[in-house]
Amino acid sequence: CCCCTHQTADPTIRFVFHALQLLGRSRAIIHMPDAKLNIKPSTGSMPKKNGGGKEIITLKQKAATLCLLVVQIVATVTVMRYSRISSSSDGGKPYLSSSVVVLAEYLKVIIATFLVTRDTGSWVIAKKEIYQEVVVKSRETFKMAVPATLYAVQNNLLFIALSHLDSAVYQIVYQIKTLTTAMFAVFILRKQISKWQWFSLVLLAIGVAIVQLGVHSKSSVIESTQGGRGGGGEEEQLNNNDDTSSSSIQEQNPLKGICAILLACVSSGFAGIYFEKVLKQTKQSVWIRNIQLGLFGGGASILTMLIKDWSDLQELGFFHGYTPVVILVICLQASTGLIVAMVVKYTDNIVKAFAGALAIIGASMTSIYVFSFEADRNFVFGGILVVIASYIYGTRGPKKHTK
C-alpha cells in the first residue's frame, strides 16, 4: 500500500491528517466523471493510481474510515438510547421510530446531493450529473431497488423474530448474519477466506452474542439495538428494535421466530454483498449510489411505517415526541449510512462486521457509564473473544502464491 507524502513526526497527527483528507476532500477517493463535465480537480486531491488507472486508497485512509464508523455507531446508539429512555420516562408514548427512519433516508439523499455539488463545484453541474446518473441511467438506479427491498424485508422479519423469541435467543441467533455475509462474499465476490479466518468469524459471532448478553439495564426500559445502518453496506436500522420493550405481550411461536431471524440473516448477508458488488464494479460514486439507495429506501420505509404504525400515526401524528435529541438521532443515522457505504466500497462487508462488533462493545461500555447499565463477566469474556477474532482475521489471511 502506498504511503502518503505528507510526513509528520506525531502518528496521531498523521492519522488525523488522513481522516481529514478522506472526508474533507472526497475527490481523493470518489471517482467522478470529470472528462464529461470539464471539471479540473484541485491539485493534490486525486489519489495515487496503479498502472491500470485504478485508484489506490492507503491503509491509513481505510483505518481512518473504519475508526470513524466505530465512533459514529457508538454515538448513534448512545444518543438513540437516551432519546428512547427520555421519551418514555414521562409515561407517554415515545416517538415513532419508523418516522425517524423515513426522515433519515431522505436526509441522507439531501446530504449526498450536497456532496455531489461540492465535488463538481457547481449546483448546475451537480444537477445534470444527478439527472444523468439517476434518471437517464435508470437501469443502474433500479439496481439499488434490490438491497432497499431486502433491507425492508429484513427489518420486518426481525420485528417478527423479536415478537416470538426471547431477547437472549434473538441476540445469539442473529449473529449468524456474520457467517451468511462471508458465505455470500465467497460465492458472489469470489473472496478467498482462509480456514483461520472462518474460525475468526465464528469466534466473532460468539463474542458479540456474549457481549450483548453480558450487559443488563437497571431500568425498566430495555433496548436491543443493532449497530450500523448503512446506507449501504449492510444497511441495518439502528433503531429497528427500539419498540420491542413496548410491544404487547402475545403468544410466542419459537419456530416462527427462528425461521424469521434465519431469513433475516440471509437477507442481510445477500443485500450487503450485493451492494458491495454494485459499489465496486460500477463507475458511479458513493454519493450517487446513496442517492439511488435512499430514494428506494425512503419509499420502502414509508410503506413499512404505514403498515406497522398506521393507528399511531392517526392518533399521535408523524412528529409525535420529537425533540432536539430526536433530530440529532436522525442526523446521526443519515450520516452513518454514508460512512457505511464508504467503508464497504474501500474495504468490504466482513471488515465492516468487525468494526460493527467493536462498536457494539464501545456502545455497551458507554451505556455502563451513561445509563448505569451493569456488565458481568460475560461482557469481558465476549470482548476478549472479539479482539482475538479481529487479530486472527487480520493476520491469518489466505497465503499469496508468488511465481
Q: What is the pLDDT of residues 17-63, one digit of tens each?
A: 444 444 444 333 333 333 343 433 333 333 455 555 455 566 777 77
Q: Tell me if 177 sits within 8 A of 204, measured CB to CB.
A: no
Share of the chain above pLDDT 70, in %: 74
pLDDT for position 321: 86
Please give the pLDDT value at position 132.
Answer: 93
Band (233; pLDDT cuts 50, 70, 90): very low
Cell of 73: 455507531
Q: At what angle do helices 254-281 and 324-346 cross, to 10 degrees?
A: 60
Distances in whole angstroms, Cα of residue 326 to Cα of each of 156, 304, 320: 22, 20, 11
What pLDDT does residue 130 have?
A: 93
Instruction: Give the per-residue pLDDT at 112.
Output: 94
Q: Tell me: the pLDDT tens digits for 320-366? A: 889 999 999 999 989 988 888 888 888 888 888 888 888 888 888 88
Q: Is the four-CA dihedral 64, 67, 71, 77 of positive or negative sign?
A: positive
Please say whether the dihedral angle defined by the alpha carbons of residues 358, 261, 344 and 302, taken in this order, is positive or negative: negative
110 pLDDT above the threshold of 90 = yes
Bigger pLDDT: 219 vs 255: 255
Cα–Cα distance measured from residue 329 to residue 322, given in angstroms and rounded to the nearest whole number: 10
**Is the predicted pLDDT of residue 171 greater than 80, yes or no?**
no
Asked whether residue 237 carries a pLDDT value surpassing 70, the answer given is no
Residue of 375 and 384 predicted with greater confidence: 384
Mean pLDDT on 119-126? 91
Instruction: Read off the C-alpha cell for 201.
Output: 468469524
* Average pLDDT over every residue of 117-136: 92
Mean pLDDT of 379-392: 88
State the distance between the two ends of the chain, measured CA to CA, in whole angstroms: 20
Residue 186 has pLDDT above 80, yes or no: yes
Report the alpha-carbon distance of residue 252 to residue 235 in Å, rounded: 28
Q: Which of 67, 80, 79 is nearest to 358 (CA)?
A: 67
Return the HEC string of the chain. Answer: CCCCCCCCCCHHHHHHHHHHHHHHCHHHCCCCCHHHHCCCCCCCCCCCECCCCCECCCHHHHHHHHHHHHHHHHHHHHHHHHHHHHHHCCCCCCCCHHHHHHHHHHHHHHHHHHHHHHHHCCHHHHHHHHHHHHHHCHHHHHCCHHHHHHHHHHHHHHHHHHHHCCHHHHHHHHHHHHHHHHHHHHHHHCCCCCHHHHHHHHHHHHHHHHHHHCEECCCCCCCCCCCCCCCCCCCCCCCCCHHHHHCCCCCCCHHHHHHHHHHHHHHHHHHHHHHHHHHHHCCCCHHHHHHHHHHHHHHHHHHHHHHHHHHHHHHHCCCCCCCHHHHHHHHHHHHHHHHHHHHHHHCCHHHHHHHHHHHHHHHHHHHHHHCCCEECHHHHHHHHHHHHHHHHHHHCCCCCCCC
**Residue 175 predicted with pLDDT over 60:** yes
Q: Which pLDDT value is given to residue 174?
A: 84
- In the block, residue with C-alpha cell 470539464: 38
Give the per-residue pLDDT at 38.
42
Output the pLDDT for position 234.
Answer: 41
